Amino acid sequence: MSLLEIENLQIDFRSGDGWVRAVDGVSFHIDSGETLCLVGESGCGKSVTALSIARLLPTPPARYSGGEIRFDGRDVLRMASAELLQLRGKSVGYVFQDPGTSLNPVIRVGAQVKESLAQRDRALATDAEVVRRLAGVGIPAPELRARDYPHQLSGGMQQRIMIAMALATEPRLLIADEPTTALDVTIQAQILELLVELKQRLGMAMLLITHNLGVARSVADRVAVMYAGQLVESSPASQLVGSPRHPYTRALIRSVPELGQTGSRLEGIPGTVPGLGRWPTGCRFAPRCVQVRPDCSTREPDWLETAPDQGVRCPYTNV
């Protein structure tokens, strides 16, 4: 049994007088100790999926309209609130994109970490433990930094505090939603290195949400690509980049300039990412696909499992 199993998840949002679907039939699993990356562009539903795992979406405006989320065999969507608190407080940790807005600006960072420790165990919530945890995420002079307010720390240091807080409860799954997007590239490398090291040291599983294929490639065991609310491809990280199968994944890879590969024209993808509620019929990528065929826009493609833990949502992948 996997640590996290998501099956055919469907999430809607209220919009005007109707509902628009944001996540449409997403299924994946994460085993203990494994890192899965969800990759996609804005509005593809990756963050909504991530938030739904601990049922963090406010309902309304959101609505879980179908599917199942099982954490350690327990059905998250049907949990009573006490059990849900347990899940949020102990089993799952979250790190978000912008540490500046996730930390409380008027409370010293040490106190915020201590609060998270108390979630796990009141006896753990001591100054000494706070200092130990801050040191554990690579914060220099942790005794002094614990007394700082968030604005006194740089973005990278703030993100380390967020990670210390998320890890305070010793979660079995760490969900990091674009944890390095707001950071400079040298700081991004430090934070990614820290996440990988902590994951190995603590033996937890990780779900990393990113739009950056380079980031996904460097930390993930498996990568799942999302487009317009659906998974379009899932495979081991090295394979996804080396031999992508879905036309969207392929185009995405060719859109990104890589260091040391100058000159050639970037491929790009014509058109724009379809907005919520404006998904085309048939294959949702068809209007932007270079290999589009006549029946693509009429028939919705099924998920084809090509190997264990590997699949693609396109019937013409051998072209």
Partner 1 sequence: MAPLLDVEELQVVYPGPKNLWGRSRNSVHAVNGVSLTVLPGEALGLVGESGCGKTTLGRAILRLIRASSGRVLFQGEDWLRLSSSELRGRRRHAQMIFQDPNSSLNPRRTVGASIGEALEIHRLADGRAGRRTRIRELLTSVGLPEDSEGRYPHEFSGGQRQRIGIARALAVEPKLIVCDEPVSALDVSVQAQIVNLLQELKRARQLAYLFISHDLAVVEHLCGRIAVMYLGRLVEVGPSREVCRSPAHPYTQALVSAVPQMHADGVPRLHLRGDPPSPVNPPSGCPFHPRCPVAEARCRTELPLLRSIGPNRQVACHLAV
84 Rama class: left (phi>0) / alpha (psi -120 to 50) / beta:
alpha
Helix (H) or strand (E) holding 233, with range, is: strand 230-236
Residue 265 CA to residue 57 CA, distance in Å, equals 41
For CA atoms 89, 94, 98, 100, give the dihedral sign. Answer: positive
Query: Binding segment for partner 1 among 48-56, 57-65, 114-122, 238-246 (CB under 8 A)?
Result: 238-246
Question: Could you say whether residue 318 binds partner 1 (CB under 8 A)?
Answer: no
Q: Per CB under 8 A, which of residues 282..311 are in contact with partner 1?
A: 288
Question: Could you say whether residue 154 binds partner 1 (CB under 8 A)?
Answer: yes
Among 2, 218, 239, 310, binds partner 1 (CB under 8 A): 218
Among 253, 279, 291, 310, binds partner 1 (CB under 8 A): 253
Q: Give the shortest CB-220-to-partner 1 separation in angstroms.
A: 11
Contacts of 288 by beta carbon, 8 Å cutoff, 6+ apart: 248, 251, 269, 270, 271
Helix (H) or strand (E) holding 230, with range, is: strand 230-236
Q: Which is nearer to partner 1, 273 or 276 (CB)?
A: 273
CA angle 88, 89, 91 (to 5 degrees): 70
Question: Could you say whether residue 148 binds partner 1 (CB under 8 A)?
Answer: no
Question: Could you say whether residue 16 binds partner 1 (CB under 8 A)?
Answer: no
CA distances from 171 to 86, 120, 166 (A): 11, 9, 8
Residue 284 CA to residue 189 CA, distance in Å, equals 34
Among 60, 61, 203, 257, binds partner 1 (CB under 8 A): 257
Q: Which is nearer to partner 1, 61 or 214 (CB)?
A: 214
Question: Could you say whether residue 196 binds partner 1 (CB under 8 A)?
Answer: yes
Q: Which residues bind partner 1 (CB under 8 A)?
A: 41-42, 140, 154, 156-157, 184-190, 192-193, 196, 211-215, 217-219, 238, 241-242, 251-262, 265-270, 272-273, 288
